[in-house]
Amino acid sequence: MANPGDKVQIIYDDKAVEGILMPDSADSLFLKLESGYNIGISKEKVKEIKVVEARKDTKKGKSDIPEKKGLKKIIVLHTGGTIASKVDYSTGGVIAQFTAKDLVDMVPEIKDIANIKCELVANMMSEDMMFSDHQKIAAAVKRNAEKGADGIIIGHGTDTLTYTAASLAFMFERIDIPVLIVGSQRSSDRPSTDAAMNLICAARFIAETGFKGIAVCMHHHSSDDKCAILPATKTRKMHTSRRDAFRAINTEPIAFIDFKLGKIDFLNKPSDMTKGILLKDRFENNVGLLKTHPNMDPELFAFYTKNYKGFVIEGTGLGHAPTNLGEDNLKNHKILKDFIAKGGIVAVTSQCINGRVHPDVYTNLRRLSNIGCIFLEDMLPETAFIKLAWLLGNYSPEETKKLLAENLRGEITERTEYEEEFI
Amino acid sequence: MANPGDKVQIIYDDKAVEGILMPDSADSLFLKLESGYNIGISKEKVKEIKVVEARKDTKKGKSDIPEKKGLKKIIVLHTGGTIASKVDYSTGGVIAQFTAKDLVDMVPEIKDIANIKCELVANMMSEDMMFSDHQKIAAAVKRNAEKGADGIIIGHGTDTLTYTAASLAFMFERIDIPVLIVGSQRSSDRPSTDAAMNLICAARFIAETGFKGIAVCMHHHSSDDKCAILPATKTRKMHTSRRDAFRAINTEPIAFIDFKLGKIDFLNKPSDMTKGILLKDRFENNVGLLKTHPNMDPELFAFYTKNYKGFVIEGTGLGHAPTNLGEDNLKNHKILKDFIAKGGIVAVTSQCINGRVHPDVYTNLRRLSNIGCIFLEDMLPETAFIKLAWLLGNYSPEETKKLLAENLRGEITERTEYEEEFI
């Protein structure tokens, strides 16, 4: 009988395929092919399963890599995610695993760019992250920066990579080394993996530029020629599976790294005079994110105002929420008004993602701004959520209201003259 | 003393500006300039306000336009929104107003394309729409189609235009005339308005093609040369203010209309043999849309499962929700599992917007699919919300589960062979 992990040949229809057997579901078998891709085969169709080679349990040694003189010292903090993933035979998908030596085994080129040390901070898929995980990552960044690291790479699951990037950007009021968050959309056992190129580009960017601060480093094209350094508070995962899923929103990337030519081009050279490290790492847990839509239930608004100290509305268009016509919508308006009157904070962003909200153009917008909703310009809803939780963790509600609409970490871009015309 | 609606000159700093006075806010005055743009002036800076001309109240006559032989008959249903907006002097912004004759006054060219009749269905900004408004619009479409209209144009606020488009697409199982939903990102009193071009392109598309069914007609470029006909269930407003904000997601537009040359190009000629009209217009109100993020509160999952018969998760990446690590996340998983076991419906989409969710790639995804979450391929979260509410309004929970993941109105595109490789 074949077991998960065995190399098998499966005969079905008129075909035979060979691969590593993964755990099955109720009606299908799954094989991981030599190419790294998975296929599912309906159990009904399977005629025969032959074990070609029984599963081998291999153990890898763990060791540091010898240091080279003259190279910068980069610490790679690992938190899990696809970038460190291998097939997980307990459930058949891909889960996070990581040992220090694995990284240099996977990306040998990195040894010649910098002296690499690895540290395992967490081992999880990023959708499960809590603020406490962000705090752990920040603590590891601080510790390593204080011990003399020239730069830090954080390996991270792609799902909530940009939430963590924003979180670190707010937590570090000052950080005087480069901290790049790197993920991979395809796991390292696939030919199309982007793990190696993203890591190499991040290491080169740290080794060859004087950049300081938090940023994201990911594929820029789906071809393997360029990575982008993306702003921590204005980047969004815009595709479920493409390698070039990460895009700067309402702004440009900070820089491009040409993978083949090794050239680095800054689009906006940051003039950063930052000295030292200042970490403010508290968060308020009772903060929410509420996306509006037609037929909104007033009970949902009521839940948010009852349970949270503040929340971010991901409204429609220029920052609308259903608050005007109809009995239910009028209820929504009253609920928001009472909440704000009692000290609650309501911030407004847009589900359009691109562009800027505005408190003045339409009657309904004025209705929201008149009761004290705070319009967050061109801030991403996800960044706004992180910022609100961070502000309420570290500042009074009054300070929070003031700081929310101010640009602290590049999360708001100034309105241009061209835009001004279209208010 | 100057009143809202008066033409005034305001002296402030060293400047003088002339325009129509709008209602003020606590600290600013607002002027609508000759150009159609608004400016705000801090009250502190204002030295003098001179009334140039007192407000004139004008009344417009209402009348139909004489019919021309040989032209198709198009009914324009108006629901409010920027496309019909004028300055509203009660609060100073822009609210919806509409009279039948206004349309042809605003867009005289339309008289030569088709015989136009207008009907006012609603007068609201679209963020306030409820399913009951969608039903009213559908009833007006049906009534006019049955009375012999060759096509229908629905003027609609842009904020929730695509939600309504999806709603109409599901409600009309069959509709044998073209129904185009048209909005405008800039109001008709501005030089940069897109109202006229969007309406003219929609009328031409109806007059010159044999298209049947529901679609959206909006600016394709920010230059004034092309409109796109966009699929009702796969279009999203992707910018708060640009005129070319509406984009087909995970698919192409249906057609382009070259405004200057009058040429119509189909990208995908729909082979529609639809005959007659079949309207299923019920909705279930107790349906939700839940966007996930780091640090998710289990109480929020609990609220959705307690209050709704089903809900759409707008997860991260390939369709993840925080359900695995940590006490809170494990609670989330149990809440979802119990809800589904008792007959609740949980559908999964992605906040990446582009790309496809997948139930099998990662361990955490299998955890969701194993408890019965339904993965909705490349369906937009907003379309999924509308579809779920519509299905539960018209079908049993069991039928709903089955139909959710089936492509009924173009809301799911088939996985291509190229994509298949990357499962």
Active site residues per annotation of B: 82, 158-159, 237
Residue A269 shares a structural domain with residue A291 = no
Does the residue A63 lie in any domain?
Answer: no
All residues of chain B having their beta carbon less than 8 Å from the beta carbon of residue A382 are 293
Q: A86 and A225, same structural domain? A: yes
pLDDT of residue B315: 97
Is pLDDT larger for residue B203 or for residue A323?
A: B203
For the cut 70, the answer to whether the pLDDT of residue B258 exceeds it is yes
User: Shortest Cα distance from B68 to chain A (angstroms)?
Assistant: 38
Cα four-point dihedral sign B399, B404, B408, B409? positive
For the entire predicted model, the pTM comes to 0.86
* Candidates B93, B240, B291; nearest CB to A350: B240
Query: Does A328 touch chain B if contact means CB atoms closer than 8 Å?
Result: yes
Does residue B82 carry a pLDDT above 80?
no
What pLDDT, on the 0 to 100 scale, is given for residue B21? 80
Q: Does A294 sit within 8 Å of B134, measured CB to CB?
A: yes
Catalytic residue among A158, A164, A209, A305: A158
Instruction: Count residue pairs from A and B with Cβ separation < 8 A.
Output: 265
So what's the pLDDT on residue A123?
A: 76
Whether B111 has a pLDDT exceeding 60, the answer reads yes
Angle at A35 between CA A34 and CA A36, to 5 degrees: 90
Give the separation between CA A236 and CA A248, rounded to whole angstroms.
7
Question: Cβ of A342: how many Cβ atoms within 10 Å?
Answer: 8
pLDDT of A383 > 90? The answer is yes
Q: How confident is the model at residue A119 (pLDDT cuts 50, 70, 90)?
A: confident
Q: For the segment A191-216, what is each residue's pLDDT rounded down to a tens digit?
A: 778 888 999 999 999 999 999 999 99
Tokens of A258: 């040409």
Mean pLDDT estimate for chain A: 87
pLDDT at B98: 55
Mean pLDDT of B253-264: 94
Tens digits of residue pLDDT in A128-145: 899 999 999 999 999 999
Helices (H), A48-130: 100-106
CB contact A375 to B (< 8 Å): no
Q: Which of A247, A279, A311 is the last residue of a domain?
A: A279
User: Residue B191 domain-assigned?
Assistant: yes
Look at residue A189 and tell me if it is in a domain. yes
Q: Is residue A192 domain-shared with residue A266, that is, in the same domain?
A: yes
- Lowest mean pLDDT across A84-98, A116-130, A355-369, B152-166: A84-98
Return the percentage of chain A with pLDDT > 90, whole number.
58
Indicate whether A96 belongs to any domain: yes
Domain that holds residue B256: 73-279
User: Is A159 an annotated catalytic residue?
Assistant: yes
Backbone Cα Rg of chain B: 24
Mean residue pLDDT of chain B comes to: 87
Q: Are residues B275 and B293 in the same domain?
A: no
Residues 226-285, chain A, touching B (beta carbon < 8 A): 237-242, 245, 283, 285
* pLDDT (mean) for A156-177: 96
Helix axes B131-146, B161-171, angle to 10 degrees: 60
* Catalytic residue list contains A233: no
User: CA-to-CA distance for B39 and B19, rounded, in angstroms?
Assistant: 9
Q: Is the pLDDT of residue A154 over 70?
A: yes
Q: Which among A200, A184, A392, A373 is positioned nearest to A290, based on CA atoms?
A: A373
Q: Which of A159, A189, A224, A328 is catalytic?
A: A159
Chain B segment 291-310 residues within 8 A of A by beta carbon are 291-295, 297, 299-300, 303, 307
- Best CA proximity match to A188, nearest among A81, A112, A116: A81
More confident residue, B22 or A164: A164
Q: Which amino acid is at A285?
A: N
Per-residue confidence band for A420, with pLDDT thresholds at 50, 70 and 90? very low
- Whether B61 is in a domain gets the answer no
| pLDDT exceeds cutoff 60 at B96 | no
B415 shares a domain with B310: yes
- Chain B interface includes A163 (CB < 8 A): yes
Looking at the structure, tell me whether residues A297 and A274 fall in a common domain.
no
Give the model's confidence band at B418: pLDDT under 50 very low, under 70 low, under 90 confident, else very high: low
Percent of chain A with pLDDT over 70: 87
Reply yes or no on whether the pLDDT at B60 is more than 50: no
User: Closest approach of chain A CAs to the CA of B241, in angstroms?
Assistant: 6
Whether residue A186 lies within 8 A of chain B, CB to CB, comes out as yes
Residue A68, domain member (yes or no): no
Is the pLDDT at B328 greater than 80? The verdict is no
- In sequence order, which residues have a C-beta less than 8 Å from that of residue A302 and are 6 or more positions away? A335
- Same domain for A411 and A275: no
Query: For residue B257, what pLDDT is reported?
Result: 97
Give this complex's ipTM: 0.86
- Indicate yes or no: CB of A315 within 8 angstroms of CB of B93: no
3-state secondary structure A171-209: HEEECCCEEEEECCCCCCCCCCCCHHHHHHHHHHHHHHC
Within a domain: residue A1? no
Report the alpha-carbon distance of residue A179 to residue A166 in Å, rounded: 12
A208 and A301 assigned to the same domain: no
For residue A266, give both structure tokens: 């800054």
For residue B63, pLDDT beyond 90? no
β-pairing verdict for A278-279 and A172-174: antiparallel
Longest dimension (CA), chain A: 72
- Nearest C-alpha neighbor of B156 from the set B129, B128, B183, B125: B183
Phi, psi of B47 (to 5 degrees): -95, -35
Does any CB of chain B come closer than 8 Å to the CB of residue A350? yes
Cβ-based contacts of B293 with chain A (< 8 Å): 160, 163, 289, 382, 385
CA B84 from chain center: how many Å?
15
Instruction: Give me the CATH number covering residue B259.
Output: 3.40.50.1170
Alpha carbon of B210: minimum distance to chain A alpha carbons (Å): 31
Q: Domain of A45: which CATH number?
A: 2.30.30.520
Is residue A58 predicted with pLDDT exceeding 60?
A: no
Considering chain B, what percentage of its residues have pLDDT values greater than 90?
A: 58
Give, as one character, the DSSP assignment of residue A253: -
Best CA proximity match to A385, nearest among B239, B297, B317:
B297
Q: Hey, is B291 helix, strand or coil?
A: strand
- 3-class DSSP assignment, residue B256: strand
Number of neighbouring beta carbons within 10 Å of residue B347: 28
From chain A, the residues in CB contact with B323 under 8 A are 128
Residue A137 and residue A192 in one domain:
yes
Domain C-terminal end among B279, B295, B313: B279
Res. A177: pLDDT tops 90: yes
The CATH number given to whatever domain includes residue A400 is 3.40.50.40
Domain shared by A109 and A173, yes or no: yes
Handedness of CA B400, B401, B406, B412 (dihedral sign): positive
Between A99-113, A239-253, A370-384, the lowest mean confidence (pLDDT) is in: A99-113
Band of residue A328 on the pLDDT scale cut at 50, 70, 90: confident
Task: Output the pLDDT for position A419.
Answer: 56
Q: How far apart are the first and last CA of chain A?
A: 70
Task: Looking at the structure, tell me whether residues A216 and A313 fall in a common domain.
Answer: no
pLDDT of B95 higher than 80: no
Residue A85 shares a structural domain with residue A138: yes
pLDDT at A163 over 90: yes
Quick one: which of A191, A124, A133, A192 has its CA closest to A159? A124
Task: Provide CB contacts within 8 A for A358, sequence distance 6+.
Answer: A318, A319, A365, A375, A423, B240, B241
B60 part of a folded domain: no
pLDDT at A248 over 70: yes
pLDDT at B259 over 60: yes
Count the domains in chain B.
3
Structure confidence by residue, pLDDT tens digits, B288-309? 999 999 999 889 999 999 999 9
Whether B366 and chain A come into contact, CB under 8 Å, resolves to yes
> What are the tens digits of pLDDT across the range B116-159?
988 888 877 888 899 999 999 999 999 999 999 999 999 999 99
Dihedral sign, Cα of residue B394, residue B398, residue B401, residue B407:
negative
Q: Which of B279, B307, B341 is the endpoint of a domain?
A: B279
